[in-house]
Structure 1
Amino acid sequence: MTDEMPSETGEVLIVTGMSGAGRSTVADALEDMGWYVVDNLPPQMLRPLLEVSGLAGSALPRVAAVVDVRGRDMFTQLPDVTRTLRDARPQLRVVFLDASDDVLVRRYEAVRRPHPLQEDGTILDGIRRERERSRAIREAADVIIDTSGFNIHQLATKVVEMFSAEGSAQHTLTIMSFGFKYGLPPDADVVADMRFLPNPYWQDDLRGLTGKDEAVRDFVLAQQGAVEFLDAYENAMIPVIAGYQRENKRHSVIAIGCTGGKHRSVVMTEELADRLGRLPGVAVRVKHRDLGRE
């Protein structure tokens, strides 16, 4: 490594704070949003990490490091290390997670684990020692999040609101066509059956085509109930997806099936993807599971 840290405009977060305040939840939420997350990093390793991220450029545009008292005596060096790093990476931010003593005690009692600084004392003794060690970095933090009143879903939602890239999707929706004769997709959250529509397979001029061909698309959408289904299904899924976003369910799969997964399900998958892809905060991916099968 060189003495000069590469200048980089990518975001950098140092996530720290009280044990039991939700660091793991925050790290998971950041990772789900595409951040490169490193957990339990000693403060002395922050500079090498940022040097690597700077050299990686766009390959690591957003980096988060979780630093906490598991680093033992090294943790006390975090404020000094952070001050030094800010000169080279002004976009660096420190996020400190906190919660009231009684909430932290309840959380530790619920998981039946000792506090990392408890030693021979009580959980509260460990919390007090940690507060003393964390005072300097808490005072230097850019963001302090009090998680006392949050459950894990609410905390994850808070992280999404605060650290999502502008315009980034809050929910990724995969819409997948499939053939029932090959089995249900095991990862489907919602399944819809297109076998109520006439099958283009029985049309000699359409049998060798697929739902990606215009002739098949026109045939399927002209059938009674096809457009009505699309209208109703779109309206039904809007509150479901909104609920997924509120509950911080970041990914879901809608599976659209027909007999062989070649005609009707493909057409309806493409149509639904076009409609639901217009929803705010939703990124839609299309997958045709069985399209290439004989």
Structure 2
Amino acid sequence: MSDKAISIPPFEQAAAGTAAAVNAGMGHVLLITGMSGAGKTSALKALEDLDYEAVDNVPLSLIGSLVAPAQPVFGGGDFQRSIAVGIDIRTRDFGVEPFLEELDHLVSENAIEVKMVFLDCDDDELRRRYVETRHRHPLAQDRPVSDGIEHERRLMSPLRGRADIVIDTTGLAPGELKGILQGHFEQAGKQGLAVFVISFSFRRGLPREADLVFDVRFLANPHYDPNLKPLTGKDREVADFISADAGFRQFFEGLTKLLQPLLPRYAAEGKSYLTIAVGCTGGRHRSVFIVDKLAAWLREQNQHVRLNHRDL
């Protein structure tokens, strides 16, 4: 896998009763779905390492009884374990409408927190994975893999739109995916806003999971200095070069002044995760330096920060 990672829509409305249950230590449920080949198996293995009970391809008709708070998987006592359930187009009796109905039922009927994680991936990367593994696409047994990917993307679009978290696994190694999941879920049950900061190259596209995107291509570019070109934004020489730009200080001060009042407001609204993406042309110099500096500032504000240099 590789490259991008994370966004957050609707289900921050897990209701007051659900929030109270989670804060009291009750286990919660992650429904892991997405494009075939996008990394569901790797995600479930990573969540197992985070002490989730992970099960795959449970028939939709059985999910309700599986995740009911009274079930043994949640312990029934003071220790109540969380569960991650893998669901995709290969799941028995799978259908988008039944899936969404079951999701709504779980959210409304159970005193537990339920979140959907959608794993996405670039079409070219998915094709490459199928070619490398010599697997057939489940929706294109006798047709080209690209036909199956196109069909599945149309089919799964409503689920992507309803997901609480979208993780783009393009270019991500399994260890990187685990790090992203760890950033989201290792502190399950704890309160506070987790902030993900990503550097990226505009040439390789915007991180689809980003909530806020900042373009720093206006800063002086170390790429054109032959002594700095082979270095990265993590090197002191590059940091000094960018810091010397007349517009740097004003930009960074403005960025932190913008974020300072926003972070507590996002947290007050019940938002659990915020993804900030900073991009430059190649994703190696300016964006890397700014993201490292921003992450340091966020930690000074006592924020829980996860950092990812996507294209470094």
TM-score, normalised to structure 1, is 0.51
Matching of residue 160 in structure 1 with residue 182 in structure 2: yes
What amino acid maps onto 1:106 in structure 2?
R
Matching of residue 25 in structure 1 with residue 25 in structure 2: no
List per-residue Cα deviations over 1:229-251 (Å, max 9, x = no partner).
xxxxxxxxxxxxxxxxxxxxxxx
Relative distance call for 1:164 and 1:116 in structure 2 (3 A) is: same
Relative distance call for 1:128 and 1:73 in structure 2 (3 A) is: farther
Name which of 71, 75, 93 aligns with 2:95: 75
Matching of residue 108 in structure 1 with residue 140 in structure 2: no
What amino acid maps onto 1:62 in structure 2?
S
* Cα separation, 2, equivalents of 1:45 and 1:60: 20
What amino acid maps onto 1:98 in structure 2?
D
Quote the residue 1:204 is aligned against.
none
Matching of residue 61 in structure 1 with residue 81 in structure 2: yes
Name which of 52, 62, 84 aligns with 1:45: 62
* Contact in 2 for aligned 1:14/1:67 (Cα 8 Å): yes
Relative distance call for 1:140 and 1:155 in structure 2 (3 A) is: same
Matching of residue 84 in structure 1 with residue 120 in structure 2: no
* Cα separation, 1, equivalents of 2:93 and 2:148: 15
Aligned-pair CA distance for 1:123: 0.6
What amino acid maps onto 1:125 in structure 2?
D
Relative distance call for 1:43 and 1:72 in structure 2 (3 A) is: closer
What amino acid maps onto 1:118 in structure 2?
A
* Contact in 1 for aligned 2:46/2:178 (Cα 8 Å): yes
Higher relative contact order (CA 8 A, sep 6+): 2
Relative distance call for 1:91 and 1:102 in structure 2 (3 A) is: same
Please state whether the residue corresponding to 1:138 is helix, strand or coil: helix
What amino acid maps onto 2:105 in structure 1?
T
Name which of 151, 155, 162 aligns with 1:140: 162
Question: How many equivalent pairs are there?
Answer: 162
Identity %: 35
* Contact in 2 for aligned 1:67/1:75 (Cα 8 Å): no
In structure 1, the gaps of 5 or more residues are: 1-6, 169-294
List per-residue Cα deviations over 1:70-115 (Å, max 9, x = no partner).
1255232211110111113451100000001001000111111111
* Contact in 2 for aligned 1:68/1:75 (Cα 8 Å): no
Larger Rg computed on CA atoms: 1
List per-residue Cα deviations over 1:189-243 (Å, max 9, x = no partner).
xxxxxxxxxxxxxxxxxxxxxxxxxxxxxxxxxxxxxxxxxxxxxxxxxxxxxxx
RMSD: 2.2
Please state whether the residue corresponding to 1:150 is helix, strand or coil: coil
* Cα separation, 2, equivalents of 1:49 and 1:55: 13
* Cα separation, 2, equivalents of 1:153 and 1:61: 23
Relative distance call for 1:60 and 1:54 in structure 2 (3 A) is: closer
Aligned-pair CA distance for 1:138: 1.2
* Contact in 2 for aligned 1:118/1:126 (Cα 8 Å): yes
Please state whether the residue corresponding to 2:117 is helix, strand or coil: strand
What amino acid maps onto 2:37 in structure 1?
G
* Cα separation, 2, equivalents of 1:10 and 1:42: 21
Relative distance call for 1:84 and 1:21 in structure 2 (3 A) is: same
In structure 2, the gaps of 5 or more residues are: 1-20, 191-312
Indicate the larger mover: 51-60 or 99-108.
Answer: 51-60
What amino acid maps onto 1:74 in structure 2?
F
* Cα separation, 2, equivalents of 1:161 and 1:114: 33
